[in-house]
């Protein structure tokens, strides 16, 4: 068993805001903590080293709040992108404040959709992404981070150049037409799915893990919709270039998959067991920062993301 300090650490890291902590403490009760403390005192001589090691392991792991706030940064990015594409405007001000430096959004405009089906898909996805922002902000309460500065203009051009979609002197406007919109959405959606997959093992609170799994499922539906739309438009070569660029940014390995395997559709980028891969937060940041090195800002987040998880990986 563990002493009170260790239990308090667990409580702190399994609760997302003050309200959750109060509920957890009330459910545990003073008597429960007393029993833990008494047990600890009885075996202190033989278990202190083990308890210290356990506590250190918990302290080193990111809290659930840190993980959800990292996800919130990504949801801000997706919500802004889709909201502008569908409605010609970004998130309302009451969904952008919080902890950390609040930033504006550069770029973004309404896409002139001609395909009615694609327009409906885009509207549904936009609604889901805004709902994700609202949900995570509500779950985090006062701990929710604010929207960081977001670049929806120059970042896409940089990404398109890195992928070889355009030449050095061209510009890539993700809102110019349906093709560009789909390629830009493809860049985001696959990253979002792998980010939630990678974050799932870090979440200790079962309630929040269940919610994160639900968001992961929604993001996977979105990604499949975008991948299918690209396939229907014979954009496999362009999608492959984006996939290769993501692989080049997020470190060694070749996990990312395009929408084609040979000449066949590859709507679900899974392994031989039918399981999709995940990315750690540091590798996700390599992609959205558009930098393969260990940095804390760049690309779609010119001043970095808000919260405790801010640094990308690196070789």
pLDDT (tens, 9 = 90+) of the chain, 315 residues, equals: 333 343 344 334 444 445 444 443 443 343 333 333 333 333 343 444 444 454 454 556 799 999 999 999 999 999 999 999 999 999 999 999 999 999 999 999 999 999 999 999 999 999 999 999 999 999 999 999 999 999 999 999 999 999 999 999 999 999 999 999 999 999 999 999 999 999 999 999 999 999 999 999 999 999 999 999 999 999 999 999 999 999 999 988 899 999 999 889 999 999 999 999 999 999 999 999 999 999 999 999 999 999 999 999 986
Q: What pLDDT score was predicted for residue 315? A: 62
- 217: tokens are 């499922």
Q: How far is CA 46 from CA 1, 50, 57, in A?
A: 11, 8, 19
- Find residue 264's DSSP bridge partners: 261
CB within 8 Å of 77: residues ≥ 6 apart: 150, 188, 288, 300, 301
Query: pLDDT tens digits for 15-71?
Result: 444 544 444 344 334 333 333 333 333 334 344 444 445 445 455 679 999 999 999
- The alpha carbon dihedral of 37, 41, 43, 49 has a sign of positive
CB 98 within 8 A of CB 145: yes
Tally of CB atoms within 10 A around 100 = 18
pTM above 0.95, yes or no: no
CB 86 within 8 A of CB 111: yes
- The alpha carbon dihedral of 280, 281, 286, 292 has a sign of negative
Q: What pLDDT score was predicted for residue 53? A: 52
Q: What pLDDT score was predicted for residue 253? A: 86
State how far the Cα of 79 lies from the Cα of 292, in Å rounded to an integer.
25
State how far the Cα of 156 lies from the Cα of 245, in Å rounded to an integer.
13
Q: How far is CA 165 from CA 5, 168, 241, in A?
A: 54, 10, 7
- The alpha carbon dihedral of 265, 268, 273, 278 has a sign of positive
CB 143 within 8 A of CB 17: yes
- The alpha carbon dihedral of 297, 298, 299, 301 has a sign of positive
Helix (H) or strand (E) holding 120: helix 116-140
Q: Is 174 exposed, middle or buried (0-12, 13-18, 19+ CB in 10 A)?
A: buried
State how far the Cα of 282 lies from the Cα of 178, in Å rounded to an integer.
31
Reference 149, options 107, 212, 184, 197; nearest CA is 107
């Amino acid at each position: 068993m563990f002493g009170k300090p260790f239990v308090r650490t667990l409580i702190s890291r399994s609760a997302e805001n003050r309200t959750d902590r109060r509920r957890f403490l009330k459910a545990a009760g003073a008597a429960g903590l007393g029993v833990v403390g008494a047990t600890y005192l009885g075996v202190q001589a033989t278990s202190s080293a083990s308890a210290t090691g356990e506590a250190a392991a918990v302290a080193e792991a990111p809290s659930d709040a840190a993980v959800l706030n990292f996800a919130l940064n990504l949801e801000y990015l997706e919500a802004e992108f889709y909201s502008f594409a569908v409605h010609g405007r970004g998130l309302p001000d009451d969904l952008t404040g919080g902890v950390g430096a609040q930033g504006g959004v550069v770029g973004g405009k309404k896409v002139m959709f001609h395909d009615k089906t694609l327009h409906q898909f885009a509207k549904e996805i936009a609604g889901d992404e805004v709902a994700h922002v609202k949900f995570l902000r509500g779950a985090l309460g006062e701990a929710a981070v604010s929207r960081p500065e977001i670049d929806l203009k120059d970042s896409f051009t940089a990404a398109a150049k890195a992928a070889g979609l355009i030449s050095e002197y061209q510009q890539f406007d993700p809102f110019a037409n349906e093709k560009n919109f789909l390629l830009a959405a493809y860049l985001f959606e696959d990253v979002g799915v792998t980010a939630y997959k990678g974050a799932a093992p870090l979440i200790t609170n079962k309630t929040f893990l269940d919610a994160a799994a639900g968001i992961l499922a929604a993001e996977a539906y979105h990604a499949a919709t975008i991948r299918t739309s690209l396939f229907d438009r014979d954009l496999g070569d362009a999608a492959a270039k984006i996939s290769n660029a993501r692989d080049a940014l997020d470190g060694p390995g070749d996990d990312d998959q395009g929408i084609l395997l040979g000449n066949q559709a590859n709507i679900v980028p899974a392994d031989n067991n039918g399981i999709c891969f995940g990315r750690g937060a540091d590798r996700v940041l390599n992609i959205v920062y558009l930098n393969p090195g260990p940095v804390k800002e760049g690309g779609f987040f010119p001043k970095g993301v808000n919260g405790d998880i801010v640094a990308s990986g690196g070789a």
